A and B are shown apart, each in its own frame.
Chain A
Amino acid sequence: MSTWLRNNQVPALAGLAAALLCAAIALIFFYAPVDEDGLNQKIFYFHVPIAFTAYACFGWGAWKGLLVLWKGRPGADLESYVAIHQGVIFGAMTLITGSLWAKFRWGVWWTWSERQLVLFLVLFLFYSAYFMLRYSLEPGPQRENLCAVYALFGVVLIPISLLAIRLAENYIHPVAFNKHGPQMATSQFATFMVALAAMVALAGALYRVELLGKRLDARLRELRELLA
């Protein structure tokens, strides 16, 4: 890795995210065809990558939680917290974009009969409650360990949420990927992959920016105590 890249990881990541987002929007509206579902299918290109990114953020938070418990790595607790925070933000976007699509296609904002929707909501609420746990405890090793255990428990819900649609008997939520691969045209799949890369890069950039802010905050607090 070049010295410039090593010293400017956050701006480089943010630039990559911006470039990929522009490319994704261009591909969605000027390259990917409008299929038989109509124009509303264009929501899929952002909704599904945002959902996958939310899963990835929760998974990353759980991995960092595991590092807290396993190796007691300093800083892993903060990284786990920021990753879960990102996951909740992307989770909220998933629920809102999904509801907008559902309102047009199904005529309702939400349906409790859809297991995938309900399981995603459970996952989202589970990780939203993480913040209640975190801020109800005094900072220290006990909080780090409890939050790490909580983050790890939640990760079990991710495969259940992903598999829910395949377990459902009567579903109305569309299946874009099954055991035969992606159920879409090559141009649509290429567009989807660019949108997914854009969302992952965006989450990565936001994660690094938030982490920088939190670390700066902690150092300033330490400096204030030293100067007091």
Chain B
Amino acid sequence: MSAEEKYVAAAYLVVFAFVVLYIVIMALKLTRLERQVGELTELARRRAGG
């Protein structure tokens, strides 16, 4: 691979890496939100039962 090809590949990889990083951050956020929904559902169940 020539130096020119390496720079082009690196530029495209940067964009790809940013998009993947964004997906990872969003996945972490979704996991947290799912956990919070679970906690709130449990709290609501306890309220309804007791």
Residues of A within 8 A of B (CB): 25, 38-40, 42-43, 46-47, 50, 89, 92-93, 96-97, 100-101, 103-104, 202, 206, 209-210, 213, 216-217, 220, 223-224, 227
Closest CB in chain A relative to B38 CB, distance in Å: 11
Given that A92-B18, A93-B18, A227-B47 are contacting pairs, would A103 and B37 also be in contact in the complex, using a CB cutoff of 8 Å?
no
Complex CA gap A40/B8 in Å reads 6
Residues of chain A within 8 A (CB-CB) of B7 are: 40, 43, 100-101, 103-104
8 examples of A-B residue contacts, CB within 8 angstroms: A39-B2, A40-B7, A46-B15, A100-B10, A101-B7, A213-B26, A213-B33, A224-B40
* Majority secondary structure, B binding face: helix
Whole-angstrom CA separation of A40 from B6 in the bound complex:
9
- Interface residues of B, CB < 8 Å — how many? 24
* B8 CB contact (under 8 Å) in A39, A96, A217: A39
Contacts A220-B40, A227-B47 known; A38 to B11 CB distance under 8 Å?
no
In the bound assembly, the distance between CA atoms of A42 and B22 in angstroms comes to: 24
A220 touches B15 (CB 8 A): no
Known: A97-B11, A100-B10. 6 other contacts (CB 8 A): A25-B12, A43-B7, A47-B11, A50-B15, A104-B7, A210-B26
Contacts of B37 on A, CB cut-off 8 Å? Answer: 220
Interface residues of B in 1-50 (CB under 8 A from A): 2-5, 7-8, 10-12, 14-15, 18-19, 22, 26, 29-30, 33, 36-37, 40, 43-44, 47
- In whole angstroms, what is the CA distance A103 to B6 when docked? 12
> Is the beta-carbon distance between A223 and B40 smaller than 8 angstroms?
yes
List chain B residues, Cβ under 8 A from A206: 22
Cα–Cα distance between A96 and B30 once the two chains are bound (Å)? 28
Task: Pick from A42, A209, A217: contact of B26, CB below 8 A.
Answer: A209
Q: Which B residues are CB-close (under 8 A) to A210?
A: 26
- How far apart are the CA atoms of A227 and B18 in the complex, in Å? 38
Complex Cα distance, B18 from A50, in Å, reads 12
Chain B residues contacting A93 (CB-CB under 8 Å) are 14-15, 18
With the chains together, A38 CA to B3 CA distance in Å?
12
Min CB–CB distance B12 → chain A (angstroms): 7
Contacting pair A97 B33 (CB below 8 A) = no
With known contacts A104-B3, A202-B19, A213-B26, A220–B36 Cβ distance under 8 A: yes
